[in-house]
Structure 1
Amino acid sequence: MKIVKILIQTVVILLLLVALVGWLLPSEMAISRKTNIDAPASQIYEVVNNLKVSQEWSPWYKIDPDSTVYTFEGPESGIGAKMSWTSNNPEIGNGSQKIIESNKPTLVKYEMTFEGFEKPSYASFIIVESGGQSQVEWNYEGDVGVNPFYHYMTLMMDGMLGPYYEQGLQDLKTMVENMPDINEESDMEMQTEMDSMTVNE
């Protein structure tokens, strides 16, 4: 019995130490990846400003495309457009993504919620055009809250999610560079082409 008591005390002490270290770790995390796309900023903006089109390039759709259910609310694109998803796959879970800021053609910002986390996270695309080519920066910022054990996640997130962001940007680049060039006068044609890519609600 004495050995059992010592083991229990040791486990409790270790858990307390892990929790204490967790409290000292940051609760906030950030991920950022960039790529250059041979396309005007307006063309890239139209793609990332439409959540339904994200199925064509987003890495998250590839994880569990058969059993994840997506629903859409609000306008087709721009501020207020919202996508929600449900999945039994623990890599996907349940959550939502909503466009909260949209400044053509340089910025699209999303608010994201994930089941099990108390605070929303934010992602954004910053697009800077120069000489017919555009630099696209995909950012993510999140806060895991007060749970000290979640704080350990902030040390691993860049390594875990970074490759997904890199693949997503590569797929976005491939998609956009294979679309016809557009200008302000051909926005309608661009929208028509993207409408053909959207998923059914």
Structure 2
Amino acid sequence: MKKVLKFLGLFLLLIIAIVLVGGLIVPKKYHFEKSIEIAAGKEKVWNNMNSLSSMIKWMPWMKMDPKMTSQITGDDGNVGATYTWKSEELGDGSMKINSLTPMEKTGLDLQFGPSKTISQANILLSGDSTKSKVTWTLDSEMQYPMNFVMGLFMDKFMDKDYGTGLNNLKAMSEAK
């Protein structure tokens, strides 16, 4: 029994050491982006991404917790408008419009839970009157030593969630 406990203790120390050392090696800054082509003109797509009330219709997280409570404050569709949510499953947070360039870009400040860290997301639009391309980006800074753990899995989670959101936006924008 002592050998098993000693082995488990050493194994736990090894895992902790890997996380601590890995956190020193893995970058704290994180960037992710994903794009989609949409068979709809820029104006139609822009109308689905230029306000918080339109974005929450296609962003995937808003549908994950039916008990989530949320509200929009400020002048929706303008810089300063803020969407806040409370969720036992997903945690609490906020999304604030920090910049708008009509028909080109919606910039967002994201804050999750009690963290003071603010991440930046941008939804970029290009194209013409018949087709569009949307690129959704995220820039964040992860805290040591969680940057190592998050760095291992973040791309996989972001790719899935951003893919779902962009496909939702595509379906909404291409609908007649």
> How high is the TM-score relative to the length of structure 1?
0.78
- The answer to whether the 8 Å contact 1:117/1:144 transfers is no
- Pair member with larger Rg: 1
**SS across alignment from 1:139:** strand
Amino acid corresponding to residue 127 of structure 1 in structure 2: L
**In the aligned structure 1, how far is the partner of 2:168 from the partner of 2:82?**
22
Letter matched to residue 141 of structure 2: D
Match of 2:164 in 1: 167
Q: Distance in 1 between matches of 2:147 and 2:115?
A: 10
For 1:76, the equivalent position in structure 2 comes to 76
CA distance in 2, matches of 1:166, 1:77: 23
Find out whether 1:30 has 2:27 as its counterpart: no
**Superposed CA RMSD:** 2.2
Once the two structures are superposed, residues 57-83 of structure 1 have per-residue CA deviations (whole angstroms, 9 ceiling, x without a partner) of 11111211x210011111021211110
1:140-179 pair list within 5 angstroms: 140-145=138-143, 147-179=144-176
Q: Which residue of 1 aligns with 2:92?
A: 94
- Give structure 2 stretches of 5+ with no counterpart: none
Q: How many residues align?
A: 175
Question: What is the Cα deviation at residue 155 of structure 1?
Answer: 2.6
Cα distance in structure 1, aligned partners of 2:175 and 2:136: 20
Deviation at 1:130, TM superposition (A): 3.5
Q: Please name the residue that 1:122 is paired with.
A: 120
CA distance in 2, matches of 1:106, 1:62: 26
Residue type of the partner of 2:159?
A: G
SS at 2:56 equivalent: helix
Q: What are the superposed Cα offsets for residues 40-68 of structure 1, whole Å, 9 maximum, x if unpaired?
A: 2222222211111223211111211x210
Taking the aligned partners of 2:131 and 2:63, their CA distance within structure 1 comes to: 28
One-letter identity of the residue aligned with 2:99: E
Structure 1 164/7 Cα, relative in aligned 2: closer, same or farther at 3 Å? closer
Letter of the structure 2 residue corresponding to residue 162 of structure 1: D
Unaligned runs of 5+ in 1: 180-201
> Which residue of 93, 105, 111 corresponds with 2:109?
111
From the superposition, tell whether residues 6 and 61 of structure 1 become closer, same or farther in structure 2 (CA, over 3 Å): closer
TM-score, length basis structure 2: 0.88
